[in-house]
Amino acid sequence: MRVLAGALLAAVTTLLLVPPAGATAPASTPVVAAEDGATTAPVVLVGVTGLRWDDVTTLTTPTLWDLSRDGSIGLVAARSVASRSCPADGWLAVSSGERASDLPADDRTCRTLREPGEDGLVPGWDDYQTSADDESYGARPGLLGDLLTDAGVPATGIGPGAAVALADGDGLPVGTHVARPESMAGLTRAVRDALGTSQLVVVDAGVLRDPGYATQPRGATTPPQEEQGDEIPGIADPTDPDLPSPDAIVEPTRSAQAQTLDERIGAVLRATERTGATVLVVSLADSSRATLQLAAATGPAPNGGTYADNLLTSGATRQAGLVQTVDVTPTLLDALDLQDEAPALAGATIVPTAGPATAAGRMAQLLDIQQQALWVTRVSGAFSTRMVLVQAVLFVAAAIVLTRKGRSDRPPLRPALQVLRVAALALAAAPITAFLTGLVPWWRADDPRAAFWWTVLAWIALITALALTGPWRRSVLGPAGFVAAVTVGVLVVDACTGSSLVIDTPMGAHRLLAARFYGMSNQAFALLTAAGLLVAVAIADPLVRRGRRRLATVLVSALGLLLVVVDGAPGLGSDFGGPPALILAFALLAVVVSGRSVNWKTLTLVLGIGVLVVGGFAVLDWMRPPGDRTHLGRFFATVLDGGLWDVVYRKLSVNLRVLTNWRYLVLAVGGIALTWIVIAGGSARRGALMGPRSPLAGLQAAVPLLRPAIAAIGAGLAVGFLINDSGIVVPATGIAVAVPCLVAAAAQWRLGSADGQAPADDVVARAGGGAGGPGGAGGDDGPGDADDAGAPDGGAGSGEAVAEVGTADAVSGASAADATSGRPSAGPPTPPSGPAAH
């Protein structure tokens, strides 16, 4: 009996310990020791292309559906060198950690990725290297493979895309490469075996292409008809002469392709069970036109957290639920504890972040972001075009109406001026309205396009109505200053609260372009500069005319300092090119307000301060951990790694490419021409363009800081144009708010005077000053005529502007009248100050 019992026990033990025939024992999971003695879990990257969250359903894609419930999920901005990315572009981004692409084909089709040939080289590697050398992103295809080799990290690649990702600089995949098995069970075994020997496993699960966008064989080592394609089974080569007619459906639907990808992803996930591996599922490229792609992750996160029940983000996007393709490489290196071995990269580590508490809520948020990103690209072009065309009409109308002689208190001039003032204020409000549309979820409407335009019109009407009805409405600069103040206030508050309005709005940064995901965009900077200086003038002008230069100088300097900090500080605007321009512009205006002259020494000192401020911001940001750095810190790290020329070349290339865009050329040329007409006509000096009897004569005396403000705006926008990488977009966008405000102020001034020469408050001021008022000597010449006031000619440029400021002080007097109310004072005028007094 004892012998029988012992035999039974031995048999049971054998059955429990020995796996049945055909079964594979669980692979032992390798670990890599870190420098601190800790160990890192294996990492599995499952790459696909063309897959979106709206492809995921309970029935057709159960694996991805479950992953959206249990893991961390997000959207991927798959922007590459071109606006539309191909499968090769996505895998090259993993290989290099930067934007990289295949050489473009004449027919604009994407390459079909192939397994390495008999020589072991990745097909098309020479093309990838050539393309990287031609571009200015500093991409080094093979960077990831070289780092893995140098660190001795074992890796396995499965599928053609994985060969691209894990290739070294010579195009040879490092570690072990396996062709992707056709069966799901075979794929599971391949991944399980790879986890037994490798710390990093990269799997190419295939591509999803929209009908009509199938990839084409190119640069293969064997004839195309003999190659094993990387397409979802069922997609035929459209160039095959044996195919049915074009009217026949020969390509599978998105749903069918997504189902195949889901099965492959499920096969990989089954192999990673009970291994403790970190699994990243990322759609690396578009299926046709650019849209936000799918990302999901499970297991330990590099930051010590866990990819579970939350959203994904990265330090490069700082948006919950959004990452970039170039974030994949830093994430792999961080998970493998190799981040210190890599050079400065464009992306940052993908980490989990808090999101809605329920899986349904997280999915709804991602789909909403995807919908917004798609629709904003459909309306932004029309918004810019219509704004430019209406602005062009305004420029022509303003040139005609403002320079027309006659009494402004009688028809037909008065109604024309009133319409011009309202139209100018409405157009000045249009740029900031483009950002305010983000407060209204118009993209969720049944007709998003109509909802967008109604939202735009509603915001414009509200801002214009407030500008015309507030207590500031009687001041020459009041309504225009209010619009400028709204522009500055919205941008400052937005930068301090996460930059939600800058993202995916018509004049903001688009997620699909993947240029900027937080902080101050180039267009926002241009608006902040132009509108900020207009606000400074509206504040300082009445103070200067009362002789309170010191207070005016302090307020202008304080406003400039605030905008510099908001625009340039890491975590707020994070703008590299903005602070120097803002410092220069506000410094010029502050010098003029203080009554001093501007010279080359002053300009050199101001530019030096600007460089030091920006450099200080960049160094402070660079001193933070790599995952916490903003654009400033990453740029400084790029400079330290020797990539400064690539950045400079790329910015110059973009500037030249955008320079001839007709929309921005119309704004820039038309705005500059109209500004010149107003300024030339606004001078009351004899010998001016239109003479002292111009309808705009005396405008500069009514607003002494008008010319210095325009000069400061021009200087700020010019420096912004040279430093930033948006070309003529910066000056054109600034003009879009500055020139309509100038037109509104000029129309307001003319409406305040019956004969087109001086509004009521300036008449009172001149009467109090006792020089050249209406009815007196030189009354027809308008208020503030330099000759009548007895002030010497101030010269040209900034000195002339300062002289006019001093002359205006002499004419109006510090206590003669309030610039906004026109209330006279019994006291005598104060003596002139500034250069004009000498």
Backbone CA torsion sign across 369, 633, 645, 348: negative
Nearest Cα neighbor of 265 from 44, 105, 432 is: 44
Q: Which residue has the higher pLDDT, 682 or 311?
A: 311
**Each residue of 153-162: pLDDT tens digit?**
999 999 999 9
Contacts 24+ apart (CB under 8 A), 470-477: 472/820, 474/820, 474/821, 474/822, 475/538, 475/542, 475/748, 475/819, 475/820, 476/702, 476/703, 476/745, 476/748, 476/749, 476/752, 476/759, 476/819, 477/534, 477/537, 477/538, 477/541, 477/703, 477/745, 477/748
CB 720 within 8 A of CB 525: yes
Q: Which residue has the higher pLDDT, 7 or 275?
A: 275
pLDDT exceeds cutoff 80 at 383 = yes
DSSP 752-808: T-SSSS--HHHHHHHHHHTSS-TTSTTGGG-TT-HHHHTPPP--SHHHHHHHHHHHH
**Each residue of 573-614: pLDDT tens digit?**
877 777 888 988 998 899 889 888 776 766 677 667 766 776
Six-digit token pair at 374? 């798609």
Residue 795 vs residues 91, 556, 690: alpha-carbon distances, Å: 62, 24, 18
Instruction: Provide the CA 828 distance to its chain's centre, in angstroms.
Output: 54
Six-digit token pair at 692? 């002292």
Strand-pairing partners, residue 207, are 49
Which pLDDT score, from 0 to 100, does residue 529 have? 93
Amino acid at 807: T
Given phi > 0 = left and psi -120 to 50 = alpha, else beta, which region is 282?
Answer: beta
- Count of CB atoms situated within 10 Å of the CB of 602: 15
Q: What are phi and psi of 83, to 5 degrees?
A: -70, -25
Least confident range from 90-94, 450-454, 457-461, 508-512: namely 508-512
**Each residue of 137-196: pLDDT tens digit?**
778 999 999 999 999 999 999 999 999 999 999 999 999 999 999 999 999 999 999 999
Q: Across the chain, what does the average pLDDT equal?
A: 78
Instruction: Map residue 204 onto helix, strand or coil.
Output: strand
**Confidence band (pLDDT; 50, 70, 90) for 625?**
low
CB 85 within 8 A of CB 290: yes
Q: Which residue has the higher pLDDT, 726 or 484?
A: 484
HEC readout, 333-391: HHHCCCHHHCCCCCCCCEEEECCCCCHHHHHHHHHHHHHHHHHHHHHHHHHHHHHHHHH
Q: What distance in Å separates the CA atoms of residue 73 and residue 64, rounded to the nearest whole number?
A: 10
Q: Residues with Cβ < 8 Å from 136, sequence gap 6 or more?
A: 646, 647, 649, 650, 653
Which pLDDT score, from 0 to 100, does residue 547 have? 87
Backbone CA torsion sign across 163, 168, 171, 174: negative
Location of structure tokens 């690649």 = 157
pLDDT exceeds cutoff 70 at 66 = yes
Q: What are phi and psi of 282, to 5 degrees?
A: -135, 130
Domains of the chain in sequence order: 41-220+227-236+249-355 (3.40.720.10), 369-812 (no CATH)
Instruction: Look up residue 437 and give its DSSP letter.
Output: G
CA torsion, points 457, 462, 468, 472, in degrees to nearest 10? -140
Question: Strands 350-353, 310-314: parallel, antiparallel or unpaired by DSSP?
Answer: antiparallel
**Each residue of 411-459: pLDDT tens digit?**
888 899 999 999 999 999 999 999 999 999 999 999 999 999 999 999 9
Six-digit token pair at 714? 């021009």
Six-digit token pair at 662? 């007709």
Of all residues in the chain, the percent with pLDDT exceeding 90 is: 44
**Confidence band (pLDDT; 50, 70, 90) for 406?**
confident
**Confidence band (pLDDT; 50, 70, 90) for 635?**
low
